[in-house]
Structure 1
Amino acid sequence: MGKKNKGKRQKTKPIPRPAPKPAPDAPAALGAPAVSKTRPASIHIAAPQAARPLELLSFDVFQRFSAFHRIVGMLNAGKGASILDVGGYPGALTDSLLTAFPDFKMTILDKPVCNRPDYVSGSADALPFQDGKFDIVISSDTLEHIPPERRAVAIVEMLRVSRRWIILGAPFQSPCASFVEESINTLHQKCFGKPNQWLAEHISNVLPDLEETQAILEMGGAAVGILPNGSSLSWFIMESAQILMEVLPMLSPIKPALNLGFNRFWAADDDAEPAYRHILVADKAGHPPVAPDVPAADEKAVLQKLRALNELVLSMAEQMLGLLSDPAAISPIIVTRYIRQMEEIIAFQEKEERRLREAMERQEVYLSRLRKSFLYRLLNKLGLM
């Protein structure tokens, strides 16, 4: 599992506020989706077609991507801005940003080989680009997958190739973040007989340290703002629910609706402490981004809730797995689901039959009118029909 977590709550340094009269190119105030009712128009995603695909993503990806959309939009980088996505394979975040900001020039860097024209194979701790090559360097949930001894070098490399901004998001060490990852990984092991690939790597590597990451960026001359992204409590509830839905196959179709509901109605107010993930926004020009005032949370109380929920979830998993191993108990559920599926198929076929019948009736009416027309009768009389 790697070395033990520090176990203490990470306290971030106070985020400096901008001068009363910031430079014209200073970024707008950073904020969570529902924090500010007077946000500049530039904060909103310009292309409406980008919002729908975002909503349809899993809740965890939606929270990350939508936060990066908002932050990139607030930086006012200008038309044709260049962005490097470190660890962005296979390009989902890049494609999402290009939908919202089609004028941006995106480059992806990651280890796997990929034949995209905007993709470069390489390592985060040895970026194959010249100094200041990109206006913005972004990295979403990549730092925790880099071995601890190489993380500082990777951050310094991001600073080097960025002309101005670095946006770095990841789950960082905290009692709650570590607890929910270990608990979900245990639940995954219990339900599917193997650990979650990504969480196992997080646990093995040990999550990065938020204060250390901030310090490295500041030593590189950047002003840093820190945003919470997704509460640990919500992350645990949603991950648990999705695993339990996969245990019973008949519940799996509900997962997209669960994610969509969260993304539409819950996520906007969910960037709260104790957060599962934090996003650091660093500006090498020295204009500190203004982070929203997030109320301090009683992490011990939240951790107590998480422990109680974890016991409940594990108990539910036991019951569901026991149900699946008992043919007499599971048979009525499977039969009921099968009957429901058959009813849905029959209803669809009946609907299609009505649609085709109505289309044929419309064609008959049209042909009847056509046969009565002067032109039809004339052509028919001349033997041309």
Structure 2
Amino acid sequence: MDSNSLHDFYFDRYQRYKAAADMIYDFQDRSPSMKILDIGSFDNTFAAFLPEHTVMPYDRIIDSAQGGLPYSDRYFDMAVAMDVLEHVPPSERAFFIREISRVSRLGFILAFPIASAAETEDFVLELTGSVWLAEHKRYGLPEPDEIEALLREMGFSFIRRPNACLPSWMAMMLLMHGTEKPMRIKISSFFNRHFYELENGEPAYRYIYLCTKSDKGN
């Protein structure tokens, strides 16, 4: 899939996939071709952004009651979990992070809408009735300070990048609501091509973390 086709992805998916892929490309000098686990993926879209790598989707629930991921330690070079943590009950979030770190040899990417975006999400939910945003409200958006403290406690260093400027995210979500698919694709393509580079700043809708092992894979 060429870069022009990638622009046709729904704007909210394109923003996080493109940013995460760029972080992996910045990181990949350690391993030119990597095996990557994409947690929460239902259609393996992220693979289109990483054609040089092998991306495996995983769409099952990860929690302590079900025993975690069915892979051995360090089975993958990296794991990514994009816009998944907010769908995990707060009591299970530490276990979730431990599991994705356990199966990743070099490190992992964690992306999630942040707690300060909750009021804006509530407004969009009120006007659109989005089932995904309803679950965000049920579990609560993760607080970056809490997640960062947990990552440090686990011995990870991390790079944090803002992703999806909150006012633009709100406007685009409302603009997209109720539009037919061809129109959504056309709007997303224009937005992704012309404005993506301007959207990775504060105030942000989500943060994306590149978390690395303390031993750096050695």
Q: Do they fold alike, i.e. is TM over 0.5?
A: yes
Q: Compared with structure 1, are the counterparts of its residues 261 and 160 closer, same or farther at alpha carbon in structure 2 (3 Å cutoff)? A: same
Q: Compared with structure 1, are the counterparts of its residues 80 and 266 closer, same or farther at alpha carbon in structure 2 (3 Å cutoff)? A: closer
- Is residue 75 from structure 1 mapped to residue 24 from structure 2 by the alignment? no
* Aligned-residue offset at 1:90: 2.7
Instruction: Provide the residue aligned with 1:138 in structure 2.
Output: 80
* Aligned-residue offset at 1:105: 2.9
Q: Which runs of 5+ in 1 are unaligned?
A: 1-48, 112-121, 189-194, 288-385
Structure with greater contact order relative to length (CA < 8 Å, sep ≥ 6): 2
Residue 170 of structure 2, aligned match among 211, 236, 246? 236
1:63-85 deviations in whole A, cap 9, x for unaligned? 01111110111111423322111
Instruction: Provide the residue aligned with 2:150 in structure 1.
Output: 216
Determine what percentage of the aligned residue pairs are the same residue. 31
- Is residue 173 from structure 1 mapped to residue 115 from structure 2 by the alignment? yes
Q: Which amino acid aligns with 1:179?
A: E
- Provide the C-alpha distance between the structure 2 equivalents of 1:60 and 1:124, rounded to a whole number of angstroms: 26
- Provide the C-alpha distance between the structure 1 equivalents of 2:211 and 2:182, rounded to a whole number of angstroms: 41
Q: Compared with structure 1, are the counterparts of its residues 183 and 286 closer, same or farther at alpha carbon in structure 2 (3 Å cutoff)? A: farther
Q: Which amino acid aligns with 2:102?
A: R
- Provide the C-alpha distance between the structure 2 equivalents of 1:187 and 1:155, rounded to a whole number of angstroms: 32
C-alpha contact 1:54 1:65 (8 A) present in aligned 2: no
- Provide the C-alpha distance between the structure 2 equivalents of 1:157 and 1:281, rounded to a whole number of angstroms: 16
- Is residue 186 from structure 1 mapped to residue 156 from structure 2 by the alignment? no
User: What TM-score, normalized by structure 2, do the two folds share?
Assistant: 0.90
What pairs up with 1:31-110 in 2 under 5 angstroms?
Answer: 49-76=1-28, 77-93=30-46, 95-98=47-50, 100-101=51-52, 104-110=53-59
Give RMSD over aligned pairs. 1.9
Q: Compared with structure 1, are the counterparts of its residues 124 and 140 closer, same or farther at alpha carbon in structure 2 (3 Å cutoff)? A: farther
- Provide the C-alpha distance between the structure 1 equivalents of 2:143 and 2:96, rounded to a whole number of angstroms: 14
- Is residue 197 from structure 1 mapped to residue 131 from structure 2 by the alignment? yes
* Aligned-residue offset at 1:257: 2.3
- Provide the C-alpha distance between the structure 2 equivalents of 1:133 and 1:277, rounded to a whole number of angstroms: 28
1:222-260 deviations in whole A, cap 9, x for unaligned? 1111100011100011111112x53xx7xx754322211
- Provide the C-alpha distance between the structure 2 equivalents of 1:215 and 1:157, rounded to a whole number of angstroms: 17
C-alpha contact 2:44 2:55 (8 A) present in aligned 1: no
- Provide the C-alpha distance between the structure 1 equivalents of 2:20 and 2:12, rounded to a whole number of angstroms: 13
Q: Which amino acid aligns with 1:73?
A: Y
- Provide the C-alpha distance between the structure 2 equivalents of 1:160 and 1:71, rounded to a whole number of angstroms: 20
Instruction: Provide the residue aligned with 1:148 in structure 2.
Output: 90
- Provide the C-alpha distance between the structure 2 equivalents of 1:166 and 1:216, rounded to a whole number of angstroms: 14
Instruction: Provide the residue aligned with 1:279 in structure 2.
Output: 208
C-alpha contact 2:18 2:49 (8 A) present in aligned 1: no
* Aligned-residue offset at 1:131: 1.5
- Provide the C-alpha distance between the structure 2 equivalents of 1:218 and 1:84, rounded to a whole number of angstroms: 22
Q: Compared with structure 1, are the counterparts of its residues 53 and 149 closer, same or farther at alpha carbon in structure 2 (3 Å cutoff)? A: same
Residue 62 of structure 2, aligned match among 123, 126, 136? 123
* Aligned-residue offset at 1:211: 1.4
Greater strand fraction, Structure 1 or Structure 2: 2
Q: Which runs of 5+ in 2 are unaligned?
A: none
1:326-373 deviations in whole A, cap 9, x for unaligned? xxxxxxxxxxxxxxxxxxxxxxxxxxxxxxxxxxxxxxxxxxxxxxxx
- Provide the C-alpha distance between the structure 1 equivalents of 2:71 and 2:182, rounded to a whole number of angstroms: 44
Which structure has the bigger radius of gyration?
A: 1
Q: Which amino acid aligns with 1:106?
A: V
* Aligned-residue offset at 1:221: 1.6
User: What TM-score, normalized by structure 1, do the two folds share?
Assistant: 0.52
Q: Compared with structure 1, are the counterparts of its residues 221 and 241 closer, same or farther at alpha carbon in structure 2 (3 Å cutoff)? A: same
1:32-57 deviations in whole A, cap 9, x for unaligned? xxxxxxxxxxxxxxxxx431222001
